[in-house]
Structure 1
């Protein structure tokens, strides 16, 4: 650990305070701040002078209460107020004088005032890393070119057809087979007792072969007939996706209620009318192709960005403040929770915790923080700024994307400075990426499209 004592004078009339900076890392510091006793006493005297004018005590006229009496009644409160003022003023001065770019919350160990001693305290802070000039020109990038044809459109139509499928009970009494839809009632017992993760569930529809629980479970449902009851013992593997079921044995009591088949609608003009204001199948196909094109354009952008930052991060060495990593992790976990909620599930239902996700995605969060820091440096290095028309175009795009009136979008951002600054920063980062692309060597490569089965 290296302690760098800096001759640092903060002038207040004839007084000064001293700041010693202790380096925990390149981005984490402890500020040791000492305010001289004469400055402390000056603040205490000022506080008592102010208090004397307003304090009311029985037996004394307002403004005439002796200092000794005020100290007897109000010393604790005065010291607390003076301590807060000294902390605030001295810390702000220290940060301003040393030009410390603090990120996140600071940690201050409060101390009590001693009228015979200097006022000393410690503040633990994190600062933005110092990044040297970034050489971003001349990157060699590969840009995938996705040519969307009839095959890709047909694959999307098949997915839409699947969404409109219906299930029909098979009247024939026969054993369940692979790819059948089975309507089952089940309850899983652990050591002979009910278990929360496999609680009794009635009329659950499963497609045999997809392995909702495990492949072994599905295999043992095969051959069952409607109305049949069966005990199915499953040993869940150690790496099972639901950690609450991993490496344990569950005995399922399963009843097959009925077997169903999937009925798919015919893909024609009538089919197309189910998906909006489409009169013909060709109109739906055109819209699918448009959506696919937009989706692949975003994919290309993501692929190019991944190449850019993989290259820049590899040759730009710096530490990332824990605060920034934590912020990115919060966003990742919040996005995961929104996605789970959309699919009617939750972290808890999947046997996950915020702590486990934080551990799993920490590296991703750190890389994301590094991306922002690198772009910030390029913005500063290249002196990038926003023109008013760029701001207006940005507002317009948000208005179109969210289908909200333009004036409402502008008002939404103008009412909150933090929100507006975040919006500006997003636009500046896009400009920085465009600048990198303009100065890169980009090779077009024909990509193979994934159409699924």
Structure 2
């Protein structure tokens, strides 16, 4: 057998095979021998069909089986012998299989790139100076106050404003014809919540209990119901009641509602502590992002598109999960899955590059994940998710889950190593480079 490997790029190889006629004939005879055992041709019992008829009726089946056998027997051995590390299944191209003749085929694959590290020690990085903002604590306190608010009937003659809750009846129609699902009674809506289509809630501002009004709106082009997309509609609304929020006083009694606090000062101190932790995390995260960006810029690397495809799929699923937690969808954000993949493909490519570079750094610097590292992360996951550590540990006892977490920890340790060897300059947020 002859094998020739063509280098199409640093991450794409084409392996060409020439399989001798003798080997082809052996596999053809073997395939026909198996086919003869079950071949069914009218007028002949199984196992008694003449070979000429088997070749006529089962030639395509024979070629399929022989091709599969020859590829399986030669491709994987060639990959191992040539020291190739594929990241994708091969794309097979072949000549027609002809008994008694040599068989030619090729397998095109993407492989992991060989990373040649150029610059990763002594990077010059900017880090934002940590400045704690009391206004952020006050804003969080205001959110908590809002969450404890009570809805009470508005005073007579009160005009609805953003933030008010309006109870109303409505009927929607298009060209004067009501549409399915476009009507309700005693519906309660917070104005400004964005629950209704654009323009609906804004037109209710200023209405009073007892008022009726026709609201003219247009359904978005990305609306979930395709029969309504992009169509103008009229909603006849009648306001029955307006409710306003009554906020509790910010005092010691308010603080006690949250369990562990004796007074308002203790609650504020805890909020300040949480805000400090969040800001520290954000600053460290952004420092790492700047490091990743430099790492990719200073260590040029071509990556297989297969890995980019996988990464963008991971990013898509993560984004969909985050949106679902907020009761949102891609469509509500004006995106389709294909549009998302196109928009974030470059970001996915950079993530693949930085991951491969970090792996190379870990290899060069002998960075390993210890049992203590692994156990600490399992403990961290258990605490953050509110799960029992034993159940989390059981999940990561699975070989694939354990390998995935180990690779993640190894990359994180490599990133920490690079930052520890970098020249880090702290600057005020306003002075940081874009």
Which TM-score band applies after superposition, normalised by the shorter structure? 0.7 to 0.9
Shift of 1:158: 1.0
Q: How many Å separate the matches in 1 of 2:311 and 2:95?
A: 33
* 403 and 235 in structure 1: CA distance in 2 versus 1, 3 angstrom threshold: closer
Cα contact 1:211–1:217 (8 A) shared by 2: no
8 A Cα contact 1:273 1:279, kept in partner: yes
The residue number in structure 2 matching 1:333 is 316
1:212 positional shift: 6.3
Could you say which residue in structure 1 is the equivalent of 2:3?
18
User: Counterpart of 2:427?
Assistant: 445
Inter-CA distance 419–208: structure 2 relative to 1 (3 Å threshold): closer
Which of 99, 102, 127 is matched with 2:83 structurally?
99
**What CA distance in whole angstroms lies between the structure 2 residues aligned with 1:411 and 1:118?**
53
Tell me the alpha carbon deviations over residues 356-405 of structure 1, each in whole angstroms, 9 at most, x when there is no partner: 22222222222222221221232233343233333333333333333444
Q: Paired residue for 2:243?
A: 260
Report the Cα offset of residue 407 of structure 1.
4.2
Q: 2:414 aligns with which of 413, 427, 432?
A: 432
Match of 1:385 in 2: 368
CA deviation after TM superposition for structure 1 residue 429, in Å? 0.4
Secondary structure of residue in 2 paired with 1:19? strand
**Residues in 2 aligned to 1:79 and 1:104: alpha-carbon distance in whole angstroms:** 25
What is aligned with 1:308?
291
Query: In structure 2, what is the Cα distance between the partners aligned to 1:212 and 1:154?
Result: 30
Structure 1 alignment gaps of length 5 or more: 1-15, 449-453
Q: CA deviation at 1:445?
A: 3.2
Superimposed CA distance per residue, residues 66-87 of structure 1 (whole angstroms, 9 cap, x where no aligned partner):
9889979987666544322211
1:271 paired to 2:254: yes
Pick closer, same or farther for the CA change 1:185–1:289 going to 2, 3 Å: same
Aligned residues: 426
C-alpha separation between the residues in 2 aligned to 1:119 and 1:127?
A: 25
Does residue 364 of structure 1 match 2:368?
no
Give yes or no for the alignment of 1:175 onto 2:167. no
Describe how 1:43-122 pairs up with structure 2 within 5 A. 43-44=27-28, 79-109=63-93, 113-122=97-106
Tell me the distance in 1 between the aligned counterparts of 2:342 and 2:168: 37
1:198-209 aligned at under 5 Å gives the runs: 199-200=182-183, 202=185, 203-207=187-191
CA distance in 2 between counterparts of 1:367 and 1:317 reads 11
* Separation in 2, partners of 1:178, 1:295: 30
Q: What is the CA-CA distance between 1:439 and the residue it aligns to?
A: 0.9
Deviations, residues 389-429 of structure 1 (Å, cap 9, x unaligned): 333333333333334444443332232x3222211111110
Residues 211, 239 of structure 2: 8 Å contact kept: yes
- Deviation of 1:270 (Å): 3.2
- Listed as ranges, the gaps of 5+ residues in structure 2 are none
SS of 1:414 mapped into structure 2: coil
Q: Give the direction of change, closer, same or farther, for the CA distance of 1:232–1:155 in structure 2 (3 Å limit).
A: same
**Is the contact between residue 133 and residue 381 of structure 1 (CA under 8 Å) also seen in structure 2?**
no
Residue 242 of structure 2 aligns to a residue in which SS? Answer: strand
Say if 1:65 and 1:194 are closer, same or farther in 2 by CA, change over 3 A: closer
Identify the match of residue 373 of structure 1 among 356, 359, 368.
356
Alpha-carbon distance change, 277 to 257 in structure 1, aligned in 2, over 3 angstroms = same
Q: Shift of the alpha carbon at 1:261? A: 1.1
TM-superposed CA distance for 1:355, in Å, is 1.5
CA distance in 2, matches of 1:208, 1:388: 51
When normalised by structure 1's length, the TM-score is 0.78
User: Which stretch of structure 1 is more off in the superposition, 275-284 or 157-166?
Assistant: 275-284
In the alignment, which residue of structure 2 is the partner of 1:129? 113
The equivalent residue for 2:275 is 292
Q: Secondary structure at the match of 1:124?
A: strand
**Structure 1 residues 396 and 195: CA distance shift in structure 2, 3 A:** same
Aligned Cα RMSD in Å? 4.1
Q: Deviations over 1:427-450 (max 9, x none)?
A: 1101111111111111223558xx
| Higher mean C-alpha deviation, range 68-77 or range 79-88 | 68-77
Deviates more, 1:150-159 or 1:424-433: 150-159
**Gap change, CA 1:243 and 1:408, over 3 Å in 2:** closer
Residue 304 and residue 191 in structure 1: after superposition, are their counterparts in 2 closer, same or farther (change >3 A)? farther
Q: Shift of residue 263 of structure 1?
A: 0.9
